[in-house]
């Protein structure tokens, strides 16, 4: 069925579901979560899953800074590239109260992230075959879900078992390092990504040490600066640190002139000491 037909069916199911509620002091309405990829990392045939859940407002005036949460009670499954192939799966035939969601302050930037970020196109771009998604795109996706999860913790925790890989990735450190093998720069797999850094500073220092170690491995007695630069460009490594949450980028080769003029100590070359315990 089309996405519009799926939502019309959802409305009919919601009308039946409301009859299961036994607390007349709560006024319920249903809403949908953002799309969650059915697989992580997403693939070209990955489905996007929207969960229907309910929010209950206290009509007695006893609860001012939060809403009651019930659900999830249904799920819409759509193909990322074909919204006309949607289907609904019923998860519950009762309104199951799961907690009260408090309301916390949210910045303008965070509000825009969850209300205006085109998350569906971003997810679609991650599903393209045989491409490495730009770090900036991954950062926008992570920021969107981090904000949504923080502001909707009650329903988010209920969804976590359905998407453990997504939640783990969203919660993980955002700083990564991309290492570039300059000798194979013309080949598609000349770069690889190192993740798992505890901080932005650790990622920057790791990138710096990798380039310095690469440079020192090519340094020869009596070598001119231009000769060292040329051989590094042909056989060395470059590295850049990327903070997906803030779009900060550090390119280690931006310091190449300083590295060339000041030979590195063993500690300044020891990037293995900063290698994360888990590399993906």
Contact by Cβ (8 Å): 171, 48? no
Please return the burial class of 208, using the count of CB atoms within 10 Å of its CB with bins 0-12, 13-18 and 19+.
buried
pLDDT score at 35: 94
pLDDT score at 242: 92
pLDDT score at 140: 79
pLDDT score at 279: 40
pLDDT score at 5: 82
Q: What distances in angstroms separate CA 156 from CA 97, 127, 235, 244, one per listed residue?
A: 14, 23, 47, 22
Rounded average pLDDT per 10-residue block, the chain, 280 residues: 79 86 81 94 90 89 80 88 79 91 62 61 83 70 86 95 93 85 90 84 94 97 95 96 83 96 96 71
pLDDT score at 245: 67
pLDDT score at 60: 78
The DSSP annotation for 171-236 comes to: HS--EEEEEEEGGGTTSTTSEEEE---SSHHHHHHHHHHHHHHHHHTT--TT--HHHHHHHHHHH-
């Amino acid at each position: 069925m089309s996405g519009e037909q799926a939502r019309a069916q959802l409305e009919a199911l919601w009308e039946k579901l409301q009859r299961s509620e036994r607390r007349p002091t709560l006024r319920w309405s249903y809403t949908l979560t953002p799309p969650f990829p059915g697989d992580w990392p997403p693939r070209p045939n990955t489905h996007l899953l929207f969960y229907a859940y309910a929010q209950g407002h206290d009509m007695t005036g006893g609860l001012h800074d939060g809403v009651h949460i019930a659900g999830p009670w249904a799920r819409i499954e759509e193909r990322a590239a074909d919204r006309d192939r949607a289907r609904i799966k019923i998860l519950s035939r009762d309104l199951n109260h799961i907690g009260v969601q408090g309301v916390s302050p949210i910045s303008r930037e965070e509000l825009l992230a969850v209300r205006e970020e085109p998350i569906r196109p971003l997810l679609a771009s991650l599903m393209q075959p045989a491409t490495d998604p730009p770090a900036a795109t991954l950062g926008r996706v992570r920021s969107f879900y981090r904000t949504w999860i923080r502001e909707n913790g009650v329903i988010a925790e209920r969804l976590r078992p359905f998407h453990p890989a997504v939640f783990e990735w969203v919660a993980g450190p955002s700083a990564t390092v991309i290492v570039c093998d300059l000798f194979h720069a013309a080949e598609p797999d000349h770069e690889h990504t190192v993740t798992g850094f505890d901080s932005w500073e650790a990622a920057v220092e790791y990138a710096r040490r990798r380039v310095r170690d690469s440079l020192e491995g090519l340094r020869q007695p009596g070598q001119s600066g231009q000769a060292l630069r040329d051989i590094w460009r042909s056989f060395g490594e470059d590295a850049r640190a990327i903070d997906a949450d803030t779009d900060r980028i550090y390119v280690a080769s931006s310091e190449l002139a300083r590295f060339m003029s000041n030979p590195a100590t063993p500690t300044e070359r020891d990037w293995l000491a900063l290698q994360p315990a888990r590399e993906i």
